[in-house]
Copies of this chain bind each other. A is one copy, B any other.
Amino acid sequence: MLKGHLDAIVLAALEAGPAHGYAIIEAIRQRSAGTFDLPEGTVYPALHRLEQASLLSSAWTTPPNGRRRRVYSITRAGSAALGERRKAWGRFSQAVDTALEGGRA
Interface set of A (CB-CB < 8 Å, partner B): 1, 3-5, 8-9, 12-13, 15-16, 28, 30-33, 35-36, 85-86, 89, 91-93, 95-103
Assess A93 versus B95: contact at CB under 8 Å? Given A3-B4, A15-B102: no
- Distance of A31 Cα from B99 Cα, bound (Å): 5
Q: Which B residue's beta carbon lies closest to that of A27?
A: B103
Tell me which residues across on chain B come within 8 A of A36, comparing CB atoms.
95, 99
The copy count of this chain in the complex is 2
Q: Are A96 and B9 in contact (CB under 8 A)?
A: yes
Tell me which residues across on chain B come within 8 A of A4, comparing CB atoms.
1, 3
- Distance of A99 Cα from B8 Cα, bound (Å): 9
Tell me which residues across on chain B come within 8 A of A101, comparing CB atoms.
12
Tell me which residues across on chain B come within 8 A of A9, comparing CB atoms.
96, 99-100
Show 23 A/B contacts (Cβ-Cβ < 8 Å), sorted by A: A3-B3, A3-B4, A5-B96, A8-B96, A9-B96, A9-B99, A9-B100, A12-B100, A13-B99, A30-B103, A31-B103, A32-B95, A32-B96, A32-B98, A33-B95, A33-B98, A33-B103, A35-B95, A36-B95, A36-B99, A89-B96, A89-B100, A93-B96
